[in-house]
């Protein structure tokens, strides 16, 4: 059985789970895989329904990734009266930043998918969080840890949230768009190219000392 369209799936979820908040997020880029945005408060209920509903049977989460949306300015042109004359003026609105976690879901039993599910944080501040979907799809565990490590998203209900790539005590999140690369490469065992050049400022070579 083929998957319903996202519009149909949204309607079915809202009918089966009264009160859930879902939003269709279009994607104009190739391959035009639009997605469903679910609030962290409703994410576990929606995920469980997607897995357990017999016609959907989305039993596998193949991929979990993060997306950073920094604060940005949206510029639009509107018509306004200026000194009694209608003119087109540019209006600048500040759009707050946030982080997203994106899940690609498939049914191995029914051989269909993907359905793409998103969660969004309230902001990009320290401690921003979404719901862990590891209790629904066990394969999310390490991938959510990676998103936590590299983007700084906390996963409420995760069974073992800790860094997976960076070391304990590392204080930043390297996949954020405002990440500032350190200029101290003490941790680089064999620095190369531009890393080597920058590391010389801290650890001069014998030639530089002579």
- 84 occurs within a structural domain: no
**Is 37 a member of any domain?**
yes
DSSP three-state, residue 135: coil
Q: For residue 168, what are its two tokens?
A: 């304990």
Decide: 90 and 60 in contact? Cβ < 8 Å.
Answer: no
Domain of residue 153, CATH code: 3.30.460.80
- As a whole number of angstroms, the distance between CA 84 and CA 87 comes to 9
Residue 103 lies in a domain: yes
pTM of the predicted model over 0.85: no
Identify whether 24 is part of a domain: yes
Give the pLDDT band of residue 64 (cuts 50, 70, 90).
very high
The total number of structural domains in the chain stands at: 1
Domain coverage including residue 18: 6-68+98-161
Q: For residue 114, give the nearest of 25, 46, 36 by alpha carbon.
A: 36
For the record, the structure tokens of 206 come out as 């014998």
Domain for residue 182, yes or no? no
* Residue that wins the pLDDT comparison between 102 and 201: 102
């Amino acid at each position: 059985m083929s998957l319903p369209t996202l519009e149909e799936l949204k309607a079915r979820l809202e009918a089966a789970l009264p009160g859930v908040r879902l939003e269709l997020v279009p994607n104009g880029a190739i391959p035009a895989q639009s997605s469903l945005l679910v609030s962290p408060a409703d994410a576990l209920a929606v995920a469980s329904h997607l897995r357990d509903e017999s016609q959907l049977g989305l039993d596998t989460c193949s991929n979990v990734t993060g997306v950073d949306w920094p604060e940005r300015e949206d510029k639009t042109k509107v018509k306004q009266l200026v000194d009694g004359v209608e003119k087109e003026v540019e209006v600048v609105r500040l759009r707050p930043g946030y982080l997203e976690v994106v899940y690609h879901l498939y049914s191995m039993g029914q051989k269909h998918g993907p359905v793409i599910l998103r969660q969004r944080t309230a902001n990009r501040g320290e401690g921003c969080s979404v719901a862990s979907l590891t209790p629904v799809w066990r394969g999310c565990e390490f991938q959510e840890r990676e998103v936590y490590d590299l983007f700084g998203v906390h996963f409420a209900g995760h069974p073992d949230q800790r860094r997976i790539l960076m070391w304990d005590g590392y204080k930043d999140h390297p996949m954020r768009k405002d990440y500032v690369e350190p200029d101290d490469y003490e941790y680089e065992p064999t620095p190369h190219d531009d890393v080597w050049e920058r590391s010389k400022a801290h650890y001069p070579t014998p030639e530089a000392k002579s």
